[in-house]
Amino acid sequence: MVFAFGINWAMLVPDDYQQGATVRIMFLHVPGAWLGMLGWAVMTVAALGTLVWRHPLADVAAKATAPIGAAFTLMCLVTGSLWGRSMWGTYWVWDARLTSVLLLFLLYLGVIALWRTVEDPSRAARAAAILTLVGAIDLPIIKFSVDWWNTLHQPASVFRMGRPTIDASILIPLLIMTIAFTLTFATLVLAAMRNEILRRRVRTLRLLQASAAS
Amino acid sequence: MQAATHTGFIIAAYAAAAVVIIGLCAWVMLDYRAQRRTLAELERHGLTRRSSALRPEPTPQQAKEEA
């Protein structure tokens, strides 16, 4: 419902005086970026849960979040690339913001690969948690890259000191779309966590079956 | 004029986002079904988490001692 409301509103916003109709790509690109970073932040807290508090659900949450965060980061990269082609005349530039987001996507792939490579879930969880904590350094780099370096990407216009620099006619549908995507993200993470718990139950049963047979 | 020039990029962006979201939903639902099916299959074979059926059959020696 929130999605339908947000997309409907997004289609009705007036064209931007500089970017024209392409401003509508922002309603996908910004939530994608925000959720790509949120996903890694969730995994960072989960990594602490695995390494420090050893909470049993921490590595389940981390493993479930990784592909979903990666998908949203990919969405951010693809929509940003299409937006860049129409506004900057190029799909890609090696500027600090774009490169640091690409690095985040590669880090996601690294964590997913670790989970798939190491068979024992508890060992995989520790290795993935260490990589997640190291990768968390990329989050402030993404956020402040537009301030620290001279980039083609525009500076922060929503989450910044002072008021957002976007007009309310565009800001409100952007916030609605962000809420819709965030609700989708949370639902998907919870569903993926449930699947992971089932997968571990299957694994336990298979181990019991194997030990009973031997 | 500008809107018409960039319509293709806007449609491509929304299509890409739809593919990502629908793909994620499909992956989560199919994975859930697969895990449920595997669990049901294992349970049909008498395997449950705290199943006594998992205990190995006693050896003749153990059976004699228990008797």
Domain that holds residue A63: 2-150+166-213
Distance, in Å, from the CA atom of A157 to the CA atom of A155, rounded to the nearest integer, reads 6
- pTM, two decimal places: 0.86
Specify if B38 maps to a domain: yes
Distance, in Å, from the CA atom of A199 to the CA atom of A3, rounded to the nearest integer, reads 31
Kindly list the distances between the CA atom of residue A124 and the CA atoms of A37, A69, A131, A202, in Å, as whole numbers in the listed order: 22, 18, 11, 17
Confidence of residue A195 (pLDDT cuts 50, 70, 90): very high
Q: In chain A, how many domains are there?
A: 1
**Chain B residue with minimum CA distance to A83:** B9
For B10-58, how does the pLDDT look when each residue is reduced to its tens digit (9 = 90+)? Answer: 999 999 999 999 999 999 999 999 999 999 998 887 777 665 444 555 5
ipTM (interface pTM):
0.85
Tell me how many residue pairs between chain A and chain B have CB atoms under 8 A apart. 93
Specify if B17 maps to a domain: yes
Specify if B53 maps to a domain: no
- Spatial CB neighbours of A132, under 8 Å, sequence gap ≥ 6: A40, A43, A44, A46, A47, A62, A111
Q: State what percent of residues in chain B have pLDDT above 90.
A: 48
Specify if A159 maps to a domain: no
Element counts in chain B: helices (H) and strands (E): 2, 0
- Name the residue facing A202 among B38, B48, B55 (closest C-beta): B38
Specify if B48 maps to a domain: no
Specify if A118 maps to a domain: yes
Q: In chain B, how many domains are there?
A: 1
For A118-169, how does the pLDDT look when each residue is reduced to its tens digit (9 = 90+)? Answer: 988 889 999 999 999 999 999 999 999 888 888 878 777 766 666 767 778 8
Domain that holds residue B19: 1-43
Specify if A156 maps to a domain: no
Specify if B59 maps to a domain: no
* A206–B21 CB contact, under 8 Å: no
Specify if B55 maps to a domain: no
Specify if A53 maps to a domain: yes
Q: Is A167 on the interface with B (CB under 8 A)?
A: no
Please report, as a single letter, which amino acid is at residue A64.
A
Does residue B1 carry a pLDDT above 50? no
* A198–B12 CB contact, under 8 Å: no
Question: What residues of A are in contact with residue B3 (Cβ under 8 Å)?
Answer: 15, 20-21
pLDDT value, residue B43:
85
Q: Is B12 on the interface with A (CB under 8 A)?
A: yes
pLDDT value, residue B59:
61
Query: Residue A113: helix, strand or coil by DSSP?
Result: helix
For A5-64, how does the pLDDT look when each residue is reduced to its tens digit (9 = 90+)? Answer: 777 777 777 777 777 778 889 999 999 999 999 999 999 999 999 999 989 899 999 999
Between A181 and A88, where is the model more confident? Answer: A181
Specify if B51 maps to a domain: no
